[in-house]
């Protein structure tokens, strides 16, 4: 008989995120690409065949199949700077349907700090593709992700969840506007022109920013963005002076250590003027000690929210619709999983029929002219395929019935193998 079919209960997830863990905890659990690779390599050495990691500003989470929660927790603690005690205090662990629903909700943006976050789907996709390149994603998880990404697409096409600039970058700019009322006459410094930085730049301009300076470790990347909007570019060496002249400083880089330190604040300390500084990075890129300066209002990811925004209320109305989409896609996936238990029988059945056909053809081929051999082989193949099709259709129509599968196995004396072999 075939091996036990894959089930929803095979999946699990562990991690820390913004709901329970503050930014200082999240940055200790944050994983660079190098650490993610080490974690996946370590998991594969231990026989874990299907998993991927999502590590963003607001969460570090592992999704996996056929592994215990304890093993995943140990992997997360081993390859991050977080401790087991911190995980038990601030982390989460989910199994079966809860784990799969959580993956759906993260990807569509229901679990995001900014409801309907439009960037999180790309972050999930990057984590999934990263693991895929390491051959760390099994067939059932691949199929699950197709349904997860389809749920995201449907949530955007069939609901208004993604409307209203739902991003942490937008929330950062709105945070600044609450202080300054408008950005038109404010000196603004944006450090980092990667994915988040580019989105932040567009939001600043759309909300009225006129005096905007860009700094990036690689100047060419800053100039590429600046040329699109006719903006000023400064070098990293000019960072302290640019900070001193700025009213608003936003930092969004992928650095693992602070990009803005107390040393960079020396010119500002000599001639202090009120500044709003926003750190969109995890690990934090602005030294938290800068927030202790009396003339600085420092905000990090934990400060950002859009719950007072009218667009948030409109998105919130769509939550039941999005949950219905998730239920639909999860049901479709469960149906697909259920059908996988008959795959070994179908493969064994078609192999059995083809073996019989080949044996009979070999017995008679010497009695057939060379000109007719191809025609006869094609004819016998078509006959066998049509006979097999009726049996396969019956199996698929009754894929929930173990008795039907057993009858077919016994009737044709099939030797089945696991569907993933």
Region 217-222: what's the mean pLDDT?
Answer: 94
In the chain, % of residues over pLDDT 90: 64
Say if residue 45 is exposed, middle or buried (CB neighbours under 10 Å; 0-12, 13-18, 19+). Answer: exposed
Beta bridge partners of 207: none
Known catalytic residue at 201: no
Q: What is the DSSP string of 38-65?
A: HHHHHHHHTT--SEEEEE-SSEEEEEEE
For residue 32, give Cα distances in angstroms to 37, 81, 126, 217: 9, 11, 13, 18
Q: What is the mean pLDDT of residues 399-418?
A: 67
Classify burial at 132, counting beta carbons within 10 Å of its beta carbon; exposed 0-12, middle 13-18, buried 19 or more: middle
Give the mean pLDDT of 148-152: 98
Taken as a whole, the chain contains a residue count of: 421
Contact (Cβ atoms closer than 8 angstroms) between residue 219 and residue 191: no
Q: 17 near 29, Cβ under 8 Å?
A: no
Torsion-angle region of residue 234: left (phi > 0), alpha (psi -120 to 50) or beta? beta
Of 77, 14, 71, nearest in space to 48 by CA: 71
Average pLDDT, the chain: 89
- The larger pLDDT score, comparing residue 354 to residue 37, is at 37
Sign, CA torsion 56/142/96/323: positive
Query: Which member of 21, 51, 57, 226 is catalytic?
Result: 57
Helix H or strand E encompassing 17 = strand 11-17
pLDDT-based confidence at 308, cuts 50/70/90?
low
Interval 39-87: pLDDT, tens: 999 999 999 999 999 999 999 999 999 999 999 999 999 999 999 999 9
Q: Is the pTM of the predicted complex or chain greater than 0.75?
A: yes
156, 119 contact by CB (below 8 A) = no
Q: What is the DSSP letter of 286?
A: B
User: pLDDT tens digits, residue range 273-305?
Assistant: 999 999 999 999 999 999 999 999 999 999 887
Give the residue, 372 or 102, on which the prediction is more confident: 102
What DSSP character marks residue 308? Answer: T
Question: pLDDT at residue 378 above 60?
Answer: yes
CA distance 26 to 35: 15
Q: How far lies 108's CA from each of 155, 158, 178, 224, in Å? A: 7, 12, 28, 31
Query: For 253-265, how does the pLDDT look when each residue is reduced to its tens digit (9 = 90+)?
Result: 989 999 999 999 9
Q: Is the dihedral of CA 343, 346, 352, 356 positive or negative?
A: negative
Q: Which residue has the higher pLDDT, 80 or 403?
A: 80
Which residue bears the tokens 């903006």? 231
The CA–CA distances, whole Å, from 115 to 118, 178, 313, 322 equal 9, 19, 10, 12
Banded model confidence at residue 2, pLDDT cuts 50, 70, 90: very low
């Amino acid at each position: 008989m075939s091996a036990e079919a894959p089930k929803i209960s095979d999946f699990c997830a562990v991690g820390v995120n913004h709901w329970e863990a503050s930014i200082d905890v999240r940055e200790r659990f944050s994983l660079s690409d190098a650490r993610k690779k080490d974690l996946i390599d370590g998991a594969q050495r231990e026989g874990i065949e299907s998993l991927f990691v999502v590590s963003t500003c607001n969460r570090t989470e592992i999704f996996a199949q056929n592994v215990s929660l304890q093993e995943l927790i140990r992997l997360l603690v081993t390859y991050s700077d977080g401790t087991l005690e911190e995980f038990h205090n601030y982390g989460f662990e989910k199994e079966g349907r809860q784990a799969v629903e959580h993956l759906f909700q993260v990807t569509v943006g229901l679990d995001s700090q900014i409801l309907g976050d439009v960037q999180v789907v790309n972050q999930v996709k990057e984590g999934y593709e990263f693991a895929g390149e390491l051959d760390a994603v099994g067939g059932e998880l691949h199929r699950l992700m197709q349904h997860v990404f389809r749920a995201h697409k449907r949530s955007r096409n069939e609901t208004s969840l993604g409307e209203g600039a739902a991003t942490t970058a937008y929330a950062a700019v709105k945070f600044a506007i609450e202080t300054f009322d408008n950005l038109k006459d404010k000196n603004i410094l944006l450090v980092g022109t990667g994915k988040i930085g580019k989105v932040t730049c567009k939001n600043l301009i759309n909300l009225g920013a006129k005096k905007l300076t860009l700094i990036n470790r690689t100047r060419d990347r800053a100039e590429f963005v600046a040329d699109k909007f006719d903006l000023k570019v400064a070098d990293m060496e000019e960072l302290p002076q640019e900070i001193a002249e700025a009213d608003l400083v936003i930092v969004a880089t992928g650095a693992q250590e602070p990009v803005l330190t107390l040393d960079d604040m020396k010119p500002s300390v000599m001639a202090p003027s009120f500044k709003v500084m926003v750190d969109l990075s995890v690990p934090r890129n602005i030294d938290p000690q800068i927030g202790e300066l009396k003339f600085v209002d420092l905000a990090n990811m934990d400060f950002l929210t859009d719950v007072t925004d009218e667009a948030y209320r409109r998105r919130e109305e769509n939550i039941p619709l999005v949950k219905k989409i998730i239920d639909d896609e999860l049901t479709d996936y469960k149906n697909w999983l259920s059908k996988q238990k008959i795959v070994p029988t179908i493969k064994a059945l078609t192999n059995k029929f083809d073996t019989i056909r080949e044996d009979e053809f070999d017995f008679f081929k010497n009695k057939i002219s060379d000109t007719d051999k191809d025609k006869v082989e094609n004819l016998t193949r078509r006959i066998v395929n049509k006979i097999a099709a009726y049996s396969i259709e019956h199996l698929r129509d009754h894929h929930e019935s173990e008795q039907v599968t057993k009858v077919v196995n016994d009737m044709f004396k099939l030797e089945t193998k696991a569907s993933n072999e």
